[in-house]
Structure 1
Amino acid sequence: MTTSEQNTTEPIRVVVWGENRHEQVNPVVRGIYPDGMHSTIAEGITRLLGAAAVVTTRVLDDSEHGMTEQTLANTDVLLWWGHTAHEEVADEVVERIHRHVLQGMGIIVLHSGHHSKIFRRLMGTTCSLRWRNDADSELVWTVAPRHPISDGVPQPIVIPGQEMYGEFFDIPEPDELVFISSFSGGEVFRSGVTYRRGYGKVFYFSPGDEIFPVYHHPDVQRVIANGVQWAKPERARESYLVTPMYLSGEFDRPVLTSPAGLVDYYTRELVEPRELHE
Structure 2
Amino acid sequence: MKLVVCAYHNVGYRCIEELLRQGAQISLIFTHEDAATEQIWFSPVRELAEQHGIPYLTSSINEPENIERLRNIGPDFLFSFYYRNMIVPEVLEIPARGALNLHGSWLPKYRGRVPVNWAVINGETETGATLHYMVAKPDAGDIVDQETVAIAFTDTAFEVFGKVTEAAVTVLRRAWPRLAAGTAARIPMDLAAGSYFGGRKPADGRIDWRRSALQIYNLIRGVTHPYPGAFTELNGDTIVIWSAWPVEGQAEPGLIVSHSPLLVGTGDGLLEIRRLQRGDGPETAAAEQVFSPSDRFS
Q: TM-score range by the shorter chain?
A: 0.3 to 0.5
Q: Between Structure 1 and Structure 2, which shows a larger proportion of strand residues? A: 1
Over alpha carbons, which structure has the higher Rg?
2
